[in-house]
């Protein structure tokens, strides 16, 4: 048995302790958690927490980020089967354009699609000077606080209304947590065809995103460029994003079989 923080004995089996630690991580959490915080949340001693974390890290279930930990990619791989119909086809068709965008910018680039009121990351390429970020292939984030999510919500009014009707989780002081402010932001994004995010999910991280249009002009995915706030050249990257997304849209629209958008909008958001 091990001793927990208050000095009592902990009779939980090793698997229970591992599950308790995994339950401490919130899906899509923007920052890694330290050992002390994990021990507090799981009600384990720090020594036990260290030992169980080491076991989980060896098995790829969690990964270390600096002095903290977050969920590892193995837990996200099964989630890829939860992609909406057609999204795997979209990913496969657009991978060359993700590569083109990375080659042109040398920054971290993403390909994402809507998954309910979240965005799911279909592909990611890291830049040479990237910051640690919460996005990962197969992982999700709430759509309202990411550039890829906002640019997709701007063209998907049914999903946008669902997001606006619910609570808007705040990740940083810059996160839009007011429905009326977000609604106005989505109108601006739809008019401009470009979304920006500056520290809304992680302080010091900025991102620009544009939609990729499929059949009938419906957006099926979004491409983005991200990097440290203040370093990204908004004018240059927005131009590059539009160029690559236009080529990607034409490639999708020329395919013989339809690659569906998820969900399909019935009405356009008023600009």
Q: Is the pLDDT of residue 8 over 90?
A: no
Q: Is the pLDDT of residue 177 over 50?
A: yes
Average pLDDT (57-70) is: 78
pTM reported for the whole predicted model? 0.66
The residue ranking higher by pLDDT, 249 or 70, is 249
CATH class given for the domain over 82-253: alpha beta
Residue % of the chain over a pLDDT of 90: 40
Q: Is the pLDDT of residue 17 over 60?
A: yes
Under 8 Å between Cβ of 191 and 153: no
CA 220 vs. chain centroid, Å, equals 16
| pLDDT at site 248 | 93
Q: Is the pLDDT of residue 67 over 50?
A: yes
What is the helix, strand, coil percentage profile of the chain, to 5?
40, 20, 40
82-253 has the same fold as 2-75: no
Average pLDDT (17-22) is: 84
19 pLDDT band, cuts 50/70/90, is: confident
- CATH number of the structural domain 2-75: 1.10.10.10
Domain ranges of the chain: 2-75, 82-253
Environment class of 28 (CB within 10 Å of its CB; exposed 0-12, middle 13-18, buried 19+): buried
| pLDDT at site 69 | 85
């Amino acid at each position: 048995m091990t001793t927990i923080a208050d000095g009592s004995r902990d009779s939980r089996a090793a698997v229970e302790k591992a599950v308790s630690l995994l339950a401490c991580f919130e899906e899509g959490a923007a920052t890694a958690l330290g050992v002390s915080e994990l021990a507090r949340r799981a009600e384990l001693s720090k020594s036990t927490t260290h030992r169980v974390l080491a076991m989980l890290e060896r098995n790829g279930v969690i990964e270390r980020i600096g002095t903290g930990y977050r969920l590892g990619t193995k837990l996200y791989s099964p989630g890829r089967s939860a992609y909406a119909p057609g999204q795997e086809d979209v990913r496969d068709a657009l991978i060359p354009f993700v590569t083109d965008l990375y080659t042109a910018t040398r920054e971290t680039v993403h390909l994402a699609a809507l998954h309910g009121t979240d965005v799911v990351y279909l592909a990611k390429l890291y830049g040479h000077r990237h910051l640690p970020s919460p996005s990962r292939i197969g992982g999700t984030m709430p759509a309202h606080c990411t550039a890829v999510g906002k640019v997709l919500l701007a063209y998907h009014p049914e999903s946008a209304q669902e997001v606006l009707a619910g609570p808007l989780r705040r990740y940083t002081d810059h996160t839009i947590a007011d429905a009326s402010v977000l609604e106005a932001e989505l109108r601006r994004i739809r008019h401009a065809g470009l979304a920006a995010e500056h520290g809304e999910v992680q302080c010091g991280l900025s991102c620009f995103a544009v939609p990729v249009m499929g059949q009938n002009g419906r957006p099926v995915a979004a491409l983005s460029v991200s990097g440290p706030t203040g370093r990204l050249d908004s004018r240059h990257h927005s131009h590059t994003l539009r160029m690559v997304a236009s080529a990607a849209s034409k490639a999708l629209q020329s395919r013989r079989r339809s690659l569906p958008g998820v969900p399909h909008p019935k009405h356009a958001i008023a600009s």
